Amino acid sequence: MNQWLGGGQQKAQAWGAMIKILLVEDNDVDARLTQDILAEWGMEEFEIIHVTRLSDAVTRLARIRFDAVLLDLSLPDGYGLSTVRQMQAANPTIAIIVLSGLNDQTLALQALQNGAQDYLVKGQGPSELLARSIHYAIERKRAEERLTYLAQYDQLTGLVNRTLFRDRLIQAMARSKRLQQPLGLMLLDLDHFKPVNDTMGHSVGDQLLKAVAERLQECVREVDSVARMGGDEFTIILEGLTCEEDITLVAQRITKRLAEPFHLGEHRALIGVSIGITVYPTDDHEVDELLKHADAAMYRAKQQGGSSFQFHIPDASSSSTCFS
């Protein structure tokens, strides 16, 4: 036994830093057994906090950072797969390992489909199995989060990408109608970007796009969404507006900020931006039509020489308005 423990401690050191575990188990005997198993694997590896109720687990997750949750499916205030869903809702980024007394393959699959990374039957398998499951679950969750990030964010600038932008715009439109607060949709296209890219090189062009993204984020509030649609085209969603003039002020701020020189290492770049704007629900159409209207307004700004903005006007007789 001592020889096995020594090997476990060496492995624990190889895994790296202390892992913080939230053990959610109302049976004291099962909880003690789980803690003893992990202690055998590596005394210095796991820090375990034990709670007996689902509500206590949710509270702890809100206050403390954990690496993984070991979750029983039968608790005084929660039963079955709903416990997994509630853990997932409380902290979508945490790894969840279900520890169940039921050797049920169907339930195990359903637990994974509901957000768990693994399903283990209590008392089965060597002690090494639980420790390995925790490590692998954490790594799988990290890989999952990374894939989610790659699918939703632009890799160059870190901004929201086209896919997530559409989702956010749809949600913003729903909030706009529900709260009766119009939103502004901006479509931005950089002026004179291609000459910079061609003469200074693509590496400098990439640096410029990243710098543009930073300046755009400085020009809007945290509640607004800035996205890169591709190439040198960006979009912005402005929510919670009271006046069309609010959008005008943001557009002026952006055109002024992007007209300032960019110092990129030994290079100095001068560009501008053409912005097309439409206001929802004054422009009461679906996402694709709104984008077309903003694009047409942007093209008008571009035709006027760039470094300017234009509004889409659904009704030629419309004028700048404020909203209650």
Q: What is the pLDDT of residues 278-315, one digit of tens each?
A: 999 999 999 999 999 999 999 999 999 999 999 998 86
> So what's the pLDDT on residue 24?
97
DSSP string of 77-109, one letter each residue: TEETHHHHHHHHHH-TTSEEEEEES---HHHHH
> So what's the pLDDT on residue 192?
95
Last residue of a domain, one of 150, 172, 205: 150
What's the one-letter identity of residue 321? T
Last residue of a domain, one of 124, 150, 176: 150
Flag whether 206 is in a domain: yes
For residue 220, pLDDT over 60 is answered with: yes
In tens, the pLDDT along 241-263 reads 888 889 999 999 999 999 999 99
Q: What is the mean pLDDT of residues 69-81?
A: 94
- Identify whether residues 7 and 144 lie together within a single domain: yes
For residues 96 and 303, give the distance between their C-alpha atoms in angstroms, rounded to a whole number. 55
Domain count, the chain: 2
- Identify whether residues 142 and 9 lie together within a single domain: yes
- Identify whether residues 118 and 38 lie together within a single domain: yes
Q: What is the mean pLDDT of the chain?
A: 89
Greater pLDDT, 317 or 28? 28
Q: How confident is the model at residue 126 (pLDDT cuts 50, 70, 90)?
A: confident
Q: How confident is the model at residue 316 (pLDDT cuts 50, 70, 90)?
A: very low
Percent of the chain past pLDDT 70, that is, above it, reads 91
List, by residue number, the catalytic residues: 232
For residue 189, pLDDT over 60 is answered with: yes
> So what's the pLDDT on residue 42?
60
Flag whether 72 is in a domain: yes
> So what's the pLDDT on residue 28?
94
- Identify whether residues 129 and 11 lie together within a single domain: yes
Residues 6+ apart with CB under 8 A from 181: 175, 239, 240, 241, 242, 323
Q: What is the mean pLDDT of residues 29-56?
A: 87
For residue 124, pLDDT over 90 is answered with: no
- To 5 degrees, how large is the angle CA 316–CA 298–CA 209? 160
Last residue of a domain, one of 150, 175, 210: 150
From residue 94, alpha-carbon distances to 85, 86, 156 in Å are: 12, 12, 27
For residues 28 and 39, give the distance between their C-alpha atoms in angstroms, rounded to a whole number. 16
Q: What is the mean pLDDT of residues 102-123?
A: 94
For residue 319, pLDDT over 50 is answered with: no
Rg of the chain in Å (alpha carbons)? 27
For residue 320, pLDDT over 50 is answered with: no
Q: How confident is the model at residue 12 (pLDDT cuts 50, 70, 90)?
A: very low
For residue 318, pLDDT over 90 is answered with: no
Which residue range forms the structural domain that includes residue 204? 162-311
For residues 96 and 37, give the distance between their C-alpha atoms in angstroms, rounded to a whole number. 18
Q: What is the CATH number of the domain that holds 41?
A: 3.40.50.2300
- Identify whether residues 140 and 7 lie together within a single domain: yes
For residue 9, pLDDT over 50 is answered with: no
In tens, the pLDDT along 192-214 reads 999 999 999 999 999 999 999 99
